[in-house]
Structure 1
């Protein structure tokens, strides 16, 4: 029987509980000094249910690069999602969980030849391309690959545009590449696109699906058996977000362009599943007051707070994912709010988390929490200057646990029942929590989704 490491085990919560309450409980034990995440598996399950309800025709293939926490991946595997992998290491990670190769797409249009050969050895043959040189490479390394041509169709506004790096022009390049693939004896089976991570426009999906439909016809004319449409990512994931609006656009466009067609439709959501499931807790370990001439600072002083996580750790998302973070104090001292700033623990002057924010006085040893921290944080963090990466503590409501523990690859060994979410500091696996009302709904959702 596979042994699950202690720090990877999920605490089963009984009775009413909240994320903030669990975080306070961990802190009040008195041994916690390093930053940590609390991950709520219920949030992941609720979002899976929402996806299946609103996008019944679209199979989610989770983008591993967004957050490769093994407990998150195991939970998604248990729910039945596929996975979008971009490298040999990510394929190793997912196949290591026991996920079948047909539930994986190698969705990197510019792959190392050695990674293509590795994918071939483990049976992952579905992969994307967007150039002639990639076709030649695949012909040499894996001629039996099932290819998906990636086209460019950018949202007018996105948190992280991707079209500047990947995707061939759907009108000029794509038709030529479809013919060239046929000449090389390669099989193209579908079309993919990515409108941009954190897309802020829904209509772009309709444009992209229409372009893909035209290429299905051109691909068939070139001798390809076109049977897969990959919608990519771009779906929102912050707390309170919903995909209802974008789902309506996608469903209508699929009906208009692929009604009655035997076409498998997948998508590559990342932050949609990961962002809201993780809450970060960071401790204030130092502060200083500096004089300022800025009129907004009122009393002529500005308070600098130093916390034990920064832009080289979890807050790399400020640089690489263009996120905005909002600190929520768990305790404050008496006194008027003052213009303040938050700084990471390293000796780099650029390690600034929040340059200006009005906060009530905060004590040394006080804690701040940051919500929606599950996307593009953990995988990119580094222990620069010797500061440890935050560990992940996972929690799940007991009513949801009764369902999840029966779903492979999760087992009863992954869960601990009836214990506090405390203990020695340790490395990454998973944590978060929600209100008892939300937990009740999530239990019902999951039971329905898994039948």
Structure 2
């Protein structure tokens, strides 16, 4: 096991986006000490920062390949486009789901072959379609006649997946069915339109919603794809060869629940499908837990028993996930300045606390009624599981530039 871990670590240290950067090897419980070392080195600036643990990325990829070996992951770049994460996943064997020209450019810049990319946006600007054609990205999705018209004009040799609406995505953290996916009665007309345009529809895709919590939704969606495969056969189209089961995966018990639904559903509806390739578009599964965010306490106010703190990242920055991704966040104190003898404040009295972000917007409220020990200005709050739809969707409102937040790389030995 030790040699396997060392080999994987070597692969990741040489990955595009990682090679040439400092990666600190940590013991299993060494994250807090590492963050304190970063803080001590950056004590003048006190800017927020991320720690990306490549050991966690490696463990997640191993978990995926052991649990769903028949499903090839195409990491959803929009979730977190940090180059070190993308390069690590590429080195481990992941492919990529890109939603724009810029995302395709980023993945290609890391040395990834265009045949490892799916342009998984059912509605694309014409100029982006032209770009995909020019660089050899030859697989994309559609769910309307108008999209077929654009593809016929700008990339007629592209292989297509018809995106269908999942029957039940209402329980997902971020449902997508109101925006994307052909309805059952639209499928046959769309396939006929593709036939008429001499476009090559090679498979079906769906998405049960980002942050899905109802794993049984996969079963219904996979059943629906079978009917689309059969409709194509009835129309005399070439047999479809790709089934894209989309995203919605979260690491932990929810992933195990999803797998226990997906595997029997695939066996039930596609037991002997010749030459079938099954792919998926996981984002948060790979991105969420490897990232930890550290923020500095820049202000404080005491009102009786209430403690109010201001930190230097917030709702307009990394913590936009509270609004945009309906995330439930947690934080722990790191009192590097006021209490160096007990930096995690274990055993100390706690107070009902409000945590604000740094902007002048009252909406920029990160936590209310949260129990925290007595902190002082220049202490720190640390937020775990902050890699999914965080920095990727942050802004520079009020001049607090989310894109400028640094990411430090570590590799934890989790065995």
Structure-1-length-normalised TM-score: 0.82
Cα 1:100–1:182 change in 2 (3 A) is same
Task: Write the mapping of 1:32-51 to structure 2, written as runs, cut at 5 A.
Answer: 32-51=45-64
Three-state SS of the structure 2 residue aligned to 1:159 is coil
- Taking the aligned partners of 1:82 and 1:46, their CA distance within structure 2 comes to 17
5+ residue gaps, structure 2, are 1-13, 340-344
Look up the match of 2:244.
Answer: 230
2:146 is the alignment partner of 1:133: yes
Look up the match of 2:24.
Answer: 12
Task: Write the mapping of 1:162-181 to structure 2, written as runs, cut at 5 A.
Answer: 162-169=176-183, 171-181=184-194
Q: Is the 8 A contact 1:330 1:368 kept in 2?
A: yes
**1:220: how far off?**
2.3
- Taking the aligned partners of 2:384 and 2:326, their CA distance within structure 1 comes to 15
Q: Is the 8 A contact 1:159 1:199 kept in 2?
A: yes
Cα 1:384–1:156 change in 2 (3 A) is closer
Q: Which of 258, 265, 278 pairs up with 1:253?
A: 265
5+ residue gaps, structure 1, are 291-299, 398-435, 441-451
Cα 1:304–1:205 change in 2 (3 A) is same
**1:387: how far off?**
2.2
Q: Which of 317, 320, 325 pairs up with 1:321?
A: 325
Task: Write the mapping of 1:83-94 to structure 2, written as runs, cut at 5 A.
Answer: 83-94=96-107
- Taking the aligned partners of 2:375 and 2:20, their CA distance within structure 1 comes to 32
Cα deviations by residue, 1:345-373 (Å, 9 ceiling, x for unpaired): 11122111112212221111111100000
Three-state SS of the structure 1 residue aligned to 2:378 is coil
Task: Write the mapping of 1:279-428 to structure 2, written as runs, cut at 5 A.
Answer: 279-290=292-303, 300-331=304-335, 336-389=349-402, 390-397=405-412
Task: Write the mapping of 1:120-199 to structure 2, written as runs, cut at 5 A.
Answer: 120-153=133-166, 154-169=168-183, 171-199=184-212
- Taking the aligned partners of 1:376 and 1:12, their CA distance within structure 2 comes to 25
Three-state SS of the structure 1 residue aligned to 2:288 is helix
Three-state SS of the structure 2 residue aligned to 1:395 is strand
Q: Is the 8 A contact 1:228 1:263 kept in 2?
A: yes
2:244 is the alignment partner of 1:244: no
Cα deviations by residue, 1:356-408 (Å, 9 ceiling, x for unpaired): 212221111111100000000111112222224321001114xxxxxxxxxxx
Q: Is the 8 A contact 1:155 1:200 kept in 2?
A: no
- Taking the aligned partners of 1:242 and 1:125, their CA distance within structure 2 comes to 32
- Taking the aligned partners of 1:358 and 1:81, their CA distance within structure 2 comes to 40
**1:231: how far off?**
0.5
Cα 1:162–1:15 change in 2 (3 A) is closer
Report the more deviating stretch, 5-14 or 122-131. 5-14
Q: Is the 8 A contact 2:17 2:110 kept in 1?
A: no
Three-state SS of the structure 2 residue aligned to 1:252 is helix
- Taking the aligned partners of 1:259 and 1:384, their CA distance within structure 2 comes to 52
Look up the match of 1:411.
Answer: none
**1:174: how far off?**
0.9
Q: Is the 8 A contact 1:34 1:388 kept in 2?
A: no
Q: Is the 8 A contact 1:7 1:393 kept in 2?
A: no
Structure-2-length-normalised TM-score: 0.89
Look up the match of 1:271.
Answer: 284
